[in-house]
Chains A and B, each alone.
Chain A
Amino acid sequence: MHPAVSVIFFTTATGAGYGLLALLGVGAALGLLPPHLALALTGLGLALTLISSGLLASTAHLGHPERAWRALSQWRSSWLSREGIAAIFTYVPTAAFAVGWIILGRVNGWVAAAGLLAALGAIVTVSMTGMIYASLKPVAQWHTPFTLPAYLIFAAMTGLTLFNAILQVFGLGPQWLIAVAALATLGGWGFKRAVWRHDSGMENRPTLNSATGLTGGRVRSVQWPHSERNYLLKEMGYRIARKHSARLRRIAQVLAFAVPLALFAVAVFATPWAAVTACVLTVPVQLAGMLIERWLFFAEATHTVTLYYGLP
C-alpha cells in the first residue's frame, strides 16, 4: 500500500496525542496531577496540538477536503465515519477538562469526570482508527487480530513517553513513572516483533488461481492491460525492496524502542538534571521511530489487486 505522508503523520500524531490526553484525564481523576497551570497548559496544549494537526493532516489526502463534513453521516456501517464522530465528540469533554484544569485550576469533581470522559473518547477514537485498517480483508497484513491492539498499544506507549517527559520537566514525575514508561516501550517492542513474526508466516491467502478462478496448475501473468503504472499500482501496488525493509525495521526498532529504553535506564540512575534531559530526549527519538514503523505498516502491506498483475 502507498505510504501517504499525511496518513502516516495522522496516525502517529493522533496516537501519541490521544495517548497523552487519556493519561492526563486518568491521572487527574486519580489525583496524580496537581492544579498546576504550566503543567496543564503544556500537557493539554501538546495533546491537542498533536491530535488537531493529525486530524487536519488526514484531510490533506482527500480529493475534496471541503466535503469532509459528509464523512460524519455513515456511522452505521463505516469505521472511518465512526472515527470522525468519535474524534469530534472527544473535543467536548476535553474542552471541559481544559477549562476546569487551566482556568479554574481544579482537578476534582466534574473536572475529574470530564478528564475520564476525555480519556474514554481518546481510547474509542484510536480504536476506530485501528478498525479502519483491521476491517480491510484485501490487505492480509492489516486484517489480523493484531492491528487493533497495535494501535492502542502504540498510542499508550507514545502517550506514556510524552506524559513521563512532561511530568519530569516540571519535577512532578515520580521515579516509578519512568519504570512504567520503560515497561510500555518494552511491551510495544515485543508486540511489534510478534506482529512481524506473524506477518512472515501468513498462510491461506488468496492466490492468482483464486483471483482469476483458474484453479489447477500454475497461473502466471504474461501481459498487463496497460503499459504505464495506473492508479491501482500507484495506490495499492507500492513495493519496497526486501533489503530496505529489513534495514528500516532495524532503524525503527533502534529509534522507537532500543534508544528510549536506554534513555529510561539513564534517567533512573542519573542525576536529576541528566534524568530530565534523558526523559525529554525519549520523545523525539521514539516518535521518529514510530513514523518509520508506520511507514512500514503501509509500505509492507500487500493488497490482493496486485495478484492480478502477477505481483505477490
Chain B
Amino acid sequence: MSHRILIVDDEPNIVISLEYLMKKEGFQVVVATNGDAALEQASAFLPELILLDVMMPKKSGFEVCQALRANPALTGVKIIMLTAKGRETEVTKGLALGADAYITKPFSTKDLVLQIKSMLA
C-alpha cells in the first residue's frame, strides 16, 4: 500500500521536481497550488505527509499548518515545511506551529527523500 503525499506550493518550477521524485518513490501524490486548495485536498485525500511551502500568496504556509493541526481528522499527519528564507526565527516559528521538519531551499533532493521515508516508516 503506497503512502499518500500532498505537495503544497504555488511555484510550478519546484512542484515539477517534487512531484516527479515522490512518484518515483511509488507514493500517491496530489498537488495543491494555494493554501485554501491545500486545506480542501487534505480533508478529501487524507495524506500521511504534507510538503508545505511557506511563501504563498493569500494564505501563508504558517496559516495552513496551523489550520491543519486544528483539524482532528488529520491527527498524525506529518508536515514538512519548505522555505526560501533561512532565518532561525522562522524555523522556530514553523516548528512551534506544528511542523515536524523545516527545510530551507536549496535543499538536497536525496536528503529530502530520505527524510520523508524515515518519517513515514
The answer to whether A and B belong to the same complex is no
Residues of A within 8 A of B (CB): none
